[in-house]
Amino acid sequence: MKHDELTKLKGGAVVSRLGLGTAQLGGLFSSVADEEGQALIDAAIDRGIHYFDTAPHYGKGVSEKRLGRYLAHYPRDSWVLSSKVGRLLVPTDKEDDSFFLDADNSVERLNDYSESGIRRSFEESLERMGLESIDIVYIHDPDDYPEEAIKFAYPALEKLRSEGLVKSIGIGMNYNEIPTRMVNETDIDVVMNAGRYTLLDQSAADELFPAALKKGVSIVSVGVFNSGVLAHPSPDSHYFYEPAPAKIVARALEFQSELQQFGVTLKQAAIQFPIRHEAVACVVVGCRSAASLNQNIENFDREVPAEAWEVVDELIAKYRKQDL
């Protein structure tokens, strides 16, 4: 399976097997110059990346504005875009953003999963990106608002879908329980699953993936490096946005060591692992530069021997048994 192979999600959106996340265009952890951002998108298009993901949260609208501007150089039917709803951006004079260094600090984020809030969020995203429609829209991290997400946000997205303003609708989260409820209780098309089907955490396969397969819901896998520990395992690594526990770093290092005998790197196994599951339609990764993008493409495309996957599966089984 190659990065530029296309696959159709439930609802009709067609995406490349490898997509590009664009939190970095909002200056996540470090500033990104405009020309660097355009060069990244140019390289992605040139290499056959067909799917781009953003959100109002990323730089408080800056990622959306930049991505819309960069993609405007290319025909609308040559790329697929997803964004998210659930956070409005409202005027403020009191907030800085320590995570997104290019953020628009004239606004602050306000959680709003009401039907009117979802519609407003969607329409403001269209305005920021200069678009008339968005291919895929996710309800973004309703961790503390599960009932609102199901009772109000979902029906609002369903209306947008019925109006032809969106092709595929869904939910994007770091956890499994609420997305599993959404799959079972609504008619969503896609789940963006962050970090819960990786070499270190396969919890999405317990209930979420079987439910998705039963209803034909597509899974988009993100966070495949678990915040970095599966890219560069060390005592300074992060796991789920926090400093990685020693036992997690040790596990990542064991995967790395065992894979070396097959000439396979940890990054190659980590980026390819989710796509092995039949529920997963594509993988989305964030890249800061064209060079980083090209490395991720090479890691995604390089064939991993069956013997290496056998060792991976054995290690996963060992660790799951230990954790019971």
pLDDT tens track for 110-133? 999 999 999 999 999 999 999 999
- Please check the confidence at residue 324 and state whether its pLDDT lies above 70: no
Catalytic-residue membership of 58? yes
Residue 93 confidence (pLDDT) = 87
CA–CA dist 140, 86 (Å, integer) = 6
Amino acid letter at 146?
Answer: P
- Please check the confidence at residue 308 and state whether its pLDDT lies above 70: yes
CA–CA dist 31, 24 (Å, integer) = 8
> Which domains are seen in the chain, by residue range?
6-244+265-304 (3.20.20.100)
236-288 pLDDT per residue, tens: 999 998 999 999 999 999 999 999 999 999 999 999 999 999 999 999 999 99
13-49 pLDDT per residue, tens: 999 999 999 999 999 989 999 999 999 999 999 999 9
Task: Tell me the whole-structure pTM to 2 decimals.
Answer: 0.96
- For 117, phi then psi, to 5°, come to -65, -40
Nearest partner of 175 among 137, 201, 210, judged by Cα: 201
Confidence of residue 323 (pLDDT cuts 50, 70, 90): confident
Residue 75 confidence (pLDDT) = 97
> What is the b/e burial string over 284-297, where b = at least 16 CB atoms within 10 angstroms of the residue's CB?
bbbbbebeebeebb
Task: Describe the chain by its helix, strand, coil percentages, rounded to 5.
Answer: 45, 20, 35
CA dihedral 284, 287, 289, 290 (to 10 degrees): -20
The active-site residue out of 51, 58, 145, 197 is 58
53-88 pLDDT per residue, tens: 999 999 999 999 999 999 999 999 999 999 999 999
Nearest partner of 64 among 11, 102, 13, judged by Cα: 102
CA dihedral 279, 173, 144, 205 (to 10 degrees): 30
